[in-house]
Each structure stands twice: as C-alpha cells, then as structure tokens.
Structure 1
C-alpha cells in the first residue's frame, strides 16, 4: 500500500547551510545550481567538458535535521545521452537517515544533452522540472541526507517537508577533500553513495568534498587555488589518467606542473595530510600514450569503448603513459617529503591492479564498474584511514 501523501507541506529555502560538498551555489531564476568549483575558477576556463563535470554534483548532498515523515524535492536535471551508445540509466538520489540508507529515487522530466562523439557535437533540449518524494520516514527527530545524482547536472528548485527543517549542527567530523578524474567523479557507479570516494568517506568517518572532475583532472592552476582556499583536514590528489587521455603535456612540463600544483595547495594547507595517488591500472595506457578516443566501430554495435591512439615509441620524445606518470609522481613525492613530512604517496595499482583487472576488467577500457568502485573505496579506506595510513585519526 502506498504511503499517504501529506496535505500540508512546509517549504524551506534552499540555502548554503543545507548543502554540503559544493564549493558554490549559483542562484538561478527558479532555484540554486550547486557547483563543485567556485565562480572564479569557472571564469578562467571555457571548456564545456569541465563545465559539465563540475556542475554534476558528485558528493553533493542536502543535509538537515527534521522530524518529518515525508520529503519532496523539485529538481531540474540535465541528462546526457550518446548517439549510438546504449541509453544511460537515470540519475539516482540516495536517502540516508542518521547515516544509514533509507531510500532511493529518480527524477522525471529534465533537460537532455545528446552527444555525438563521432562528429564532436552536442545538442541541448530543454525539458520540464521533476519531483521526487520520500515517505514513511521515522516519526522522530533525525538527520536526513539526500545525495544528489553524481552524473546529472541538478538544479534544486524547492524542498518541502511535513515538519520544519533546520541545519544539522557540526558533529566535529574531519573534512576530506579529494580531487581526481572521472573515476573519482563516479563514472559507471550505480548511485551517488556508491562512488568510491563516497564509500571511502563513510568507512573513514569523514565529511567528503569530492572534486573528482570527469576528463578534467589536468593540474589546472585554478583547481589548485580552489583546493588551497577550501577548508579541509585531509586532502588527496589522484593524478594521471586525464593527462594521458587528452595527450595534454609532455614529461618536461609534467614535473614542474605537479610541483606548482602542490606548492599552491600548500599555500593554504601547509601542514594538512596530503596524499598523492597515482593512476589505477589501465592496460590500454600503461605503456601507450594518448590520446584516448571512442571506438567508433564499437559505437556502431551499441558499445561504448575507448582505445589508445598513441604509439609506445613516442615515449622517447616525452609523451606520457601511466607508467611514466607513476615513476615521476613517486620521485616527486619522495624528494619533497624530505621537507614535508605530511606529504604521502599511494600507488594506484594498490587500489586496482593486475589481479583485480583479471577478475573485474574495465568494461569500456577506462572506467571501473559498480563492483570495482566498491573494491577501490574499501581499499582506499583501509590504506588511507587505517591505523598505519596517512589519514589515520579520530573518526567521530
């Protein structure tokens, strides 16, 4: 039997004290749009890939305290589709009550962004807002979290409940800021709390700010400044795969760019535990440079897969592979840590390596599936937040 729908609702303004995981809230004509990069950073890069990635609210959630038994949220999503590829699943909203899973929903309506990777074009079609509803919540005071879809730009229009809402007081938990690529963003994860940094944050007992930016972990100075200026108790930087994907720079530029990124972060966080994570295993780019490109033949068969377009011989001229990047990151951290005892390194293959690939291969040659997100998240939690890890400490 369906839960009864309240006849009287309380509408609560969507303000920054109810939103966690976003660095900026843009006021729109109808509501607010969470951003994971501040306006100053967005103004310094007109790249559409970055604009799409940072506006997809991976790790962003509404958090409030209420005795409500029913919650409604009006949103306007933007869903991506790819010409010739299988339909992408709808974005998922995860409900947590007092930190425990309590429901899941999707939104209807919304805008559609249709991407033709063969032609390099995109078409935006507007659509109507949608409403999602959670009912049957415990009739008592409780902390409620609604995690927004990690893979759909989501404008928040209205929050309604059948009892008043107030911000959740500070629980004293440490804040972990993580920056990485589409893997950290959540590509192919099943739902927002199953993205590997979200899972690791829950296991580590910390508050997450996820700056996993699909296709856009490129050592950009404006991203380093955003990290520098954001309060955080723990910071991790996962560096490598996007630089190969885009064939963005050569080895000569890579080392100084890493140093510059770390220098900028350290300006705002001189003593914060800082973990540099190298790429997980990705066989197509271990020894073959980029760029990566969609396999157009696979698209014709309804499959989305990627191939490496470089030549292994080009490493001699300084082109980057994942192997080259791992060696350079290890060297940089080793040398810097002599003067920076809070700087640490983690080889990404300890999160996902050859034996993992044999069991759980990357479905599209680049991105892990849902089961692999869980494995990476559990491994990171053990290695980083465990007793001997660089993030060990209180999890209250």
Structure 2
C-alpha cells in the first residue's frame, strides 16, 4: 500500500495561468486576470478562459506515484456526439510519459443554435500516475485544454514542492479555438504547446475558442504579463462572428498593438494571420453550425459581394499592410502568413473535419512549421535574436 503524502496546492505551483481562484472545491486556474473577467461581454469567454489550455502544475519531487483530485467541467454540444474526456498529461524532462483522464464531473450542454446552456453537476475524480522515474526530478502535469478544471488535492509517495523558475524564455500567445486546442489529442499536443516544446520556451496560451476578437482587456492583460516573446493569431473569429466592418478593423489592430507595446516596447512580436478556411476565405460571416447526419460542421452565411465586410483574404491583406507600415518604426514587429502553417495543399491532404478546425495531425504539422519559422535561426523568436 502506498503511503501517500498530501501537499496543499498553491498558486505558485502553476505555470501558464494569469490568475488562480480559490473556490469551494479547491483552486481554479484562469487565463485572464480577475479585473479583466469583470469586463466579459458574454459567458462564452468566461467558459473559454477558464479552460486551462497550456496550464500545468510544475513540481519538484522524488515521487514515483502522483494522484491529483479534480472536478472537471465538460462541454457537450446539443445534437453532436459527446466529446471524449479531456487528457491530463505527465511530462518529465520534456518528455510525456503518462496520459490519463478524470471521469465524472460537471457537464455543460450548449445549444449552438439557440445559445442556451444547461449545467448538470457531477462528482470529482482522480488523475493517477504511477511508475515515474526514481530520483529527484521536475514534473509537469498539463491540464485538459478544453475542460474547466478545479484542483482539489495533490498526493504523492514522496515530498513535493513547486519547481523553481526554469530560466527559459516566456512566450505569450493569443489566438482562437485553433490555438486553444480544439481537436488536439491532448494538452501537450496543441500546436502552441508543440511549438513551445520545440522552441524550448515556457508557454502562456491565451487562445480562447471563439474569442480572438481584439478585445481591449485582452490587450491590457498581455501588456501587463511579463514575456520575452509575444504572438497574435488573428482572423477567423472576427469573420465568423461578423464582428466588425473593414473600416473598423485596421484601427482596432493598431490599438491592440499599441496597448501591448505600452508594456513591451521592444519585445519580439509576431502577428500571424489565419490558416486556410475555405468556407470563409472569400465569404463573410456570420458563421453558423450545421448538424448534418449528427455531425457538426460550419457554414458561412455572408454575402461575398459585400466588400465592406471582413473575409480571411481581406484580413490577411490588412495585417500584412499594418505590420509593414509599423515595422519602419518597430523593427521587432513581424508578420507570418497563416497559409504557411496550413494552406491549400495541406487542406487537400488533411481537410478540416468541421470546416473550421484542424484535426490532431494538423496540430502537429502547424506546431512544427511555426517552430521552424519562428524559433529557428533567422526567425523572429530565435535565441539571442540570431
């Protein structure tokens, strides 16, 4: 029988979170600070920022067995097949050596057509890892990227403490559901997590499903977050929400960049446009769900002849122009065309399962390509600026 040691969970054990809230159950990591959460215009962003994509517990221990009690909140979309339970990934010395799930938990059912939400409470469960390597080591437990996760208790078979700072550069990234990790097989296999591992950096992932919308409070949160590298991936949500017209887009991007630069005047900053999404390349939003035979797909409803409205093609043109214009006075500002990460040839080989979101294999491809272009020698995120 294992002699378990229970160690109180503390906010300093988390990386990738901007805030940690104490709840009736335990600790709930957030990816936006409390002041920003008061400015949310709708509950969808509140749900997305509390889903801990990129958030992990980082611990130093000699333990060979670890148990983590958690209360997950899982999302089900009305009319669509249930999603698999989210994964908890165990990483030792940069290598994933374990993956498990926590059954049970709360279930939130969302009707995408009517936007109604029904919550059914459920019990907590336990993520359990055994057979860890002997000796002192730093371990990371990556939390499910698409499940809100309240952490209740931590047990190990040897003493454990928060790991010291790694000394690695911090990469702060903001994007949409693709950055959040939709369809990735686990939290260490979202494209930003894969790119961060290749680049040898600490990730803070502010990818929010459906909510890369140039919100000013997100820019201010990024302004106030210490970071060595920053990237913004913009496009798809602005189109499928039909959020703004062409006239408003460029000033909004300038304002977002200005706010970030108030806190990070010389930090390498990479603006990335959307990957290929054929339904919205030349057709404006809004986008709408379409359950055909019980399978969720999306379609665009806008008028392609209306040039006042945003499409992905227009956004790419505008972002390239904005970065080129600003780069004369900001040599640390860079642009990457998202079609380099996933374009027409990729779509022919690895089509988008629902018309918008890449599959698990594409997350790997995007992570590799981003790392090659951003972190490699000559890239904007190269170590030492080489």
- Displacement of 1:394 in angstroms is 5.4
Supply the RMSD in Å over aligned alpha carbons.
1.0
Residue 343, structure 1, aligned to residue 338, structure 2: no
Q: Is the Cα contact below 8 Å between 1:196 and 1:373 reproduced in 2?
A: yes
Q: Distance in 1 between matches of 2:343 and 2:131?
A: 43
Q: 2:301 aligns with which of 282, 299, 309?
A: 309
Stretch deviating more after TM superposition (184-193 or 115-124): 115-124
Residue 256 of structure 1 aligns with which residue?
A: 251
Residue 230 of structure 2 aligns with which residue?
A: 235
Map Cα deviations across residues 58-116 of structure 1 (whole Å, 9 max, x no partner): 00000000001110000000011112111101100000112211101000210000112
Residue 59 of structure 2 aligns with which residue?
A: 64
Q: Distance in 2 between matches of 1:46 and 1:55?
A: 15
User: How many pairs were matched up?
Assistant: 385
Map Cα deviations across residues 9-53 of structure 1 (whole Å, 9 max, x no partner): 111121122100000001101201000000111101141110111
Q: What SS does the aligned partner of 2:39 have? A: coil
- Displacement of 1:118 in angstroms is 2.8
Alignment of 1:176-187 (within 5 A): 176-187=171-182
Q: Distance in 2 between matches of 1:155 and 1:24?
A: 13
Structure 2 unmatched runs, 5+: none
Q: Distance in 2 between matches of 1:171 and 1:88?
A: 34
Residue 37 of structure 2 aligns with which residue?
A: 42
Q: Is the Cα contact below 8 Å between 1:97 and 1:145 reproduced in 2?
A: yes
Runs of 4+ in 1 over 6 A off after TM superposition: none
Q: Distance in 2 between matches of 1:161 and 1:92?
A: 20
Q: What SS does the aligned partner of 1:40 have? A: helix
Alignment of 1:109-188 (within 5 A): 109-188=104-183
Alignment of 1:1-396 (within 5 A): 5-6=1-2, 8-296=3-291, 298=292, 301-315=293-307, 318-393=308-383
Q: Distance in 1 between matches of 2:362 and 2:73?
A: 26
Map Cα deviations across residues 161-216 of structure 1 (whole Å, 9 max, x no partner): 11111221222100000000000000111100000000000000000000000000
Q: Distance in 1 between matches of 2:199 and 2:7?
A: 31
Q: Distance in 2 between matches of 1:120 and 1:59?
A: 27
TM-score by length of 2: 0.98
Stretch deviating more after TM superposition (112-121 or 208-217): 112-121
Q: Distance in 2 between matches of 1:127 and 1:167?
A: 30
Map Cα deviations across residues 272-300 of structure 1 (whole Å, 9 max, x no partner): 0000001111000000000110014x1xx
- Displacement of 1:327 in angstroms is 0.4
Map Cα deviations across residues 106-138 of structure 1 (whole Å, 9 max, x no partner): 002100001122332110000011111111111
Q: What SS does the aligned partner of 1:231 have? A: coil
- Displacement of 1:251 in angstroms is 0.8
TM-score by length of 1: 0.96
Q: What SS does the aligned partner of 1:313 have? A: coil
Q: What SS does the aligned partner of 2:296 have? A: coil
Structure 1 unmatched runs, 5+: none
Q: Is the Cα contact below 8 Å between 1:99 and 1:143 reproduced in 2?
A: no
Q: Distance in 1 between matches of 2:144 and 2:109?
A: 18
Q: What SS does the aligned partner of 1:198 have? A: helix
